[in-house]
Amino acid sequence: MTYDWLAPGAKTIAPVRGPFTGTMRAMSSPPAGAMAPLPPDPGSPVSVKIRERLVAARKRFHANDNIAQFIEPGELAQLLDEVEVKIEGMLDSLVIDTEDDHNTRHTARRMAKMYLNEVFKGRYVPAPPITEFPNVERLNELMIVGPLTVRSACSHHFCPVVGRIWIGVLPSEHTNVIGLSKYARLVDWIMGRPQIQEEAVVQLADLIMEKTQPDGLAIMMEASHFCMSWRGVREMDSKMINSVMRGVFLKDSALRREFLALLPGRN
């Protein structure tokens, strides 16, 4: 098979995308007498090696999944080089003269760095470390933090999603208390992936529930989707607002009203 991003005439036996036949064999036991799965080709693009590990572990790798556990030391730098070459190919196909156009000469590298190290970093790095303190004072009053800034992108067009989030926690005596700044770090980690807003708030709620074990959790998100303003229907002022409630917030409508009434900075 020949790839247009390789040197002219160069060939590789490992597809960059495709049916991953080698890995699928690794997912189920081969029938007796069948050939054992081939070990990964050392010349494979690093993305293929990472995908093979994910498939072998039966782990999902959707756009909004974190895959840090499957990336070995040094591979992120290799991934950056690989993504740069692919984006250069995309710019070629967009008929942009990246050799002579001084403005786009390093755009492929910039975009690769932006995706891997900045805007989609939440896919490629482990969760931020969170210090958990026991709830010694047995705090059981509603605590709200926000607005926290949301910077994300939609999975459909990779257009920016920018907004705010509020988090309300009703602790119990068993709840782990975490520093306020850690809520912002967790938001950043979850939102730093291609997302859809409905799934983003659920992922965030699952993470905070797991880390702190509160009696109740409420999350409200309000965001502008650039796929609706910069392009598409070009609606400039519309926002998406959604929320997720867990634990006592689901049963106690007075508590829900208290959370919604107290959201700081929201008119």
Positions touching ligand GTP (CB under 6 A) are 154, 156, 196-198, 225, 227-228, 232-233
Distance CA 176, CA 135 (A): 6
Is-contact 207 185, C-beta < 8 A?
Answer: no
Rounded to a whole number, what is the distance in angstroms from the first to the last CA of the chain?
A: 58
Q: Which lies closer to ligand GTP via its Cβ, residue 178 or residue 227?
A: 227
Distance CA 105, CA 162 (A): 29
DSSP-H helix ranges across the chain: 21-27, 46-56, 75-93, 107-113, 121-124, 180-191, 197-212, 226-229, 248-251, 253-262
Least separation in angstroms between CB 219 and ligand GTP: 15
Closest residue to bound ligand GTP by CB: 232
Least separation in angstroms between CB 200 and ligand GTP: 7
Least separation in angstroms between CB 222 and ligand GTP: 12
Least separation in angstroms between CB 62 and ligand GTP: 14
Q: Which lies closer to ligand GTP via its Cβ, residue 154 or residue 186?
A: 154
Least separation in angstroms between CB 154 and ligand GTP: 4
Q: Which lies closer to ligand GTP via its Cβ, residue 71 or residue 228?
A: 228
Q: Which lies closer to ligand GTP via its Cβ, residue 155 or residue 176?
A: 155
Q: Which lies closer to ligand GTP via its Cβ, residue 187 or residue 228?
A: 228
Least separation in angstroms between CB 148 and ligand GTP: 17
DSSP at 68: G
- Cα 51 to its chain centre, rounded Å, is 16
Contacts for 96 with CB less than 8 Å, ≥ 6 apart: 104
Q: Which lies closer to ligand GTP via its Cβ, residue 60 or residue 234?
A: 234
Closest CA to 205 of 161, 154, 163, 249: 249
The structure tokens 């409508």 sit at 253
